[in-house]
A and B are shown apart, each in its own frame.
Chain A
Amino acid sequence: MLAKARSDVIARRAALTAPTGFLPRLLLCSGLPRASLLTMIDRLGKMGDGSSEKDAVFNKLLVPSAASEWDIGRLGQRREVARKLLGRLSAYLRLNDVSVDKDKSTISTTFLEWLSQECSSNEKSKKPRHKQKTKSTAVDMAKLSEFSSILKTIDVPNEVKAEDYRRIAFDDELDIFLPVKVPDNTEKLKMRDKIKHSIEQTQPDVLEPLLTQVLDKDAQLRPKDKDLHLLDIAVFVMKTFLNLETIQHSITRIILAYVPRLSQISGNPELWQQLFSSQQDERNEVLDLLLCRCAASWHPHHIASCYEWLISIGKTMSPKYCVARITRYLVVASGQQSVHIEGFSTKITLDCIKSWGMSEEFASSTLAFAFEGMKQATSVGSWPGLLSRNGMPDWFILLLLLAKCGRVQMKFVGEALLQRIAQPSNDLSLPLLRAVFLRLYVSNPQGMNLGTALIRNVLMEAGQEYAVSWLVWRSPLDDQIEDMLDTVMSGAGQRLIRPLADLSKKHPLLMLRKCHLLTQFLETDGTVPDFGTKDNRGVVQGQSLTGPLNAIRHGKMVRVNVRHWGFRYTEYIWVALLDIICAGECHKFVSRWAVTLKLLSSRTLFAHYFLRFVFQFPFRFSLGVA
Chain B
Amino acid sequence: MGFLDFLNANVRLVFVQSQIRRTERDFRLRDKLKELFATFRKTSPAGWEKWMASKDHGLGSLGEMRNVMICCDFLDPKEIVKIERT
A: residues with CB less than 8 A from B are 467, 471, 512-513, 515-519, 522-523, 526, 540-545, 564-567, 569, 571, 574-575, 577-579, 581-582, 586-587, 590-591, 593-594, 597, 605-614, 616
Contact = CB atoms under 8 A, between A and B. Distances in A.
B19 interface: yes
B24 interface: yes
How extensive is the interface on chain B, given as a class?
35 or more
User: Among the interface residues A519, A523, A544, A582, which one has the most CB atoms of the partner chain B within 10 A?
Assistant: A519
A574 B1 CA distance: 19
Nearest 8 A-B pairs (CB), nearest first? A566-B16, A609-B47, A515-B2, A516-B2, A609-B44, A542-B22, A590-B42, A542-B20
Contacts of B51: 606
Contacts of A523: 9
A471 B10 CA distance: 23
Nearest to B12: A566
Contact of A512 (B1, B9, B12, B16): B1
B45 interface: yes
Nearest to B8: A519
B46 A605 contact: yes
Contact of A526 (B9, B45, B47): B9
Contacts of B32: 575, 578-579, 582
Interface in B1-21: 1-6, 9-10, 12-13, 15-17, 19-21
A540 B22 CA distance: 7
Given A526-B16, A606-B47, 4 more contacts: A564-B16, A569-B17, A597-B46, A614-B3
Contact of B13 (A543, A566, A605): A566
Contacts of A594: 42-45
Interface centre among B2, B32, B42, B46, by most chain A C-beta atoms within 10 angstroms, is B2
A586 B22 contact: no
Nearest to A568: B22
Contacts of B1: 467, 471, 512-513, 515, 606-607, 610-611
Nearest to B25: A540
Contact of B5 (A512, A515, A581): A515
Contacts of A609: 40, 43-44, 46-47
Q: Give chain A's interface secondary structure class.
A: helix
B29 interface: yes
A586 B43 contact: yes
Contacts of B29: 571, 574-575, 578
A593 to B, nearest CB: 5
Nearest to A597: B46
Contact of B44 (A540, A567, A613): A613
A577 B29 CA distance: 10
B39 A587 contact: yes
B19 A545 contact: yes
A287 B35 CA distance: 62
Contacts of A606: 1, 3-4, 47, 50-51
A354 to B, nearest CB: 42
A38 to B, nearest CB: 72
Given A512-B1, A609-B46, A522 B40 contact: no
A611 B40 CA distance: 11
B36 interface: yes
13 contacts: A471-B1, A518-B2, A522-B9, A542-B17, A578-B32, A587-B35, A587-B39, A590-B42, A606-B4, A606-B50, A606-B51, A607-B1, A613-B40
Interface string B33-57: 1011011101111110011000000
Nearest to B51: A606
B28 interface: yes
A195 B28 CA distance: 84
Nearest to A614: B3
A582 B50 contact: no
Contacts of A608: 47
A590 B48 CA distance: 13
B7 to A, nearest CB: 9
Contact of B20 (A512, A519, A543): A543
B12 A587 contact: no
Nearest to A540: B24
Contacts of A607: 1
A613 B36 CA distance: 10
A522 B16 contact: no
Contacts of B61: none
Contact of B16 (A565, A590, A605, A612): A565
Contacts of A518: 2, 6
B86 interface: no
Contact of B43 (A517, A564, A565, A613): A613
Contacts of A515: 1-3, 5-6
Nearest to B58: A565
B76 interface: no
B6 A543 contact: no
Contacts of B46: 597, 605, 609
A574 B10 contact: yes
A575 B13 CA distance: 12
A571 B47 contact: no
Nearest to B41: A590
A384 B45 CA distance: 37
B44 A597 contact: yes
Contact of A593 (B2, B4, B20, B44): B44
Nearest to A617: B39
A328 B3 CA distance: 39
Nearest to B40: A613
B73 interface: no
Most buried by A among B1, B2, B10, B39: B1
A544 B20 contact: yes
Nearest to A578: B32
A292 B33 CA distance: 56
